[in-house]
Amino acid sequence: MIIDHPLLGPRDAQEFVILGDASLIDRPDWQAEDAAQQFHDYQHLRDNPAGEHRELWFHEQGDRSWLVVTRSTLTHEVLKVELARDVAIARGRNR
């Protein structure tokens, strides 16, 4: 599997480690009334789609950047690669 890194170009998946569902970016507010329930859902409830899936990948043997990789779990085709930093900022995070 080749991941087309936004800064470095195509790199072999061997250089990366996968963390999991990209929803991990949306960490709940720990001060919310129902924080315990929100963190339960955040930690344990994941979609497991057969098809398009957004995942966090870490370029450990490379430039150490976190990426959001959209790929098909059926074909392993990589559809889109973004820097996780850009995704987080676009979702209103400060970094």
Partner 1 sequence: MAEFALKARAPLDGYARTFGTISLAEEAGLSLVSAAVPQGGDDALAAALAAGLGAARPATGDSALCDRYGARLLGMQPDQMFILFEAPDPDRAAETVGDALGPAAYVTDQSDSWAMLRIAGAGARAALERICMLDLDAAAFPEGRVARTVMEHLAVIILRDGTDRFLLMSPRSSARSFLHAVEVSIGNTAG
Q: Nearest approach, Cβ of 48 to partner 1 (angstroms)?
A: 30
Query: Residue 88 Cβ, how far from partner 1 at the closest point, in Å?
Result: 14
Q: Which is nearer to partner 1, 53 or 56 (CB)?
A: 56
Nearer to partner 1, 9 or 92 (CB): 9
- Residue pair 69/2 in contact by the 8 Å Cβ criterion: no
Query: What does the block give as tokens for 90?
Result: 């676009």
Instruction: CB nearer to partner 1: give 81 or 83.
Output: 83
- Host H or E run for residue 80: strand 78-83
List residues near partner 1 by CB under 8 A: 7-9, 11-12, 14-15, 61-65, 83, 85, 95
| Vertex 74: Cα angle to 46 and 27 (nearest 5) | 25
> CA 3, CA 59: separation in Å to the nearest integer?
10
> In the bound complex, what is the minimum distance in angstroms from residue 59's beta carbon to partner 1?
8
Per the listing, tokens 């315990």 go with: 36
Least distance (Å) between residue 22 CB and partner 1: 19
